[in-house]
Amino acid sequence: MSNLFYAVLALKSNEVADVVAQLNAAKLGDIGDWLDRNYAVAYGRRNEDWKPFNSQTIREIINEGQGYQTQTTLIEQLQTDVSNVAIVRPIRVYFIDVFALFIDKYIQLARTVDFSVAVNCQCCLLLPSTMPVQMQDQLIGVYRNVWRQVCNTYRQGNLHRIAMRIDDLQNFRNYLYKVFGTDDSPSLVADQELTNRFPYETKQLPSFARN
* pLDDT value at residue 204: 40
In the structure, what pLDDT confidence band is assigned to residue 181 with cuts at 50, 70 and 90?
Answer: low
| CATH 3.30.70, applies to 4-11+47-181 | no
Query: Domains of the chain: which residue ranges?
Result: 4-11+47-181
Euclidean distance between CA atoms 65 and 90, whole angstroms? 17
52-74: pLDDT as tens digits:
998 999 999 988 767 889 999 99
| Nearest one of 118, 77, 65, 90 to 5, comparing CA atoms | 90
Euclidean distance between CA atoms 184 and 117, whole angstroms? 19
13-38: pLDDT as tens digits:
999 999 999 999 999 999 999 999 99
User: Do the beta carbons of residue 89 and residue 200 sit within 8 Å?
Assistant: yes
- pTM value > 0.85: no
User: Do the beta carbons of residue 153 and residue 119 sit within 8 Å?
Assistant: yes
Measured in whole angstroms, the distance separating CA 200 from the mean position of its chain's CA atoms is 19
Per-residue pLDDT for 85 more than 50?
A: yes
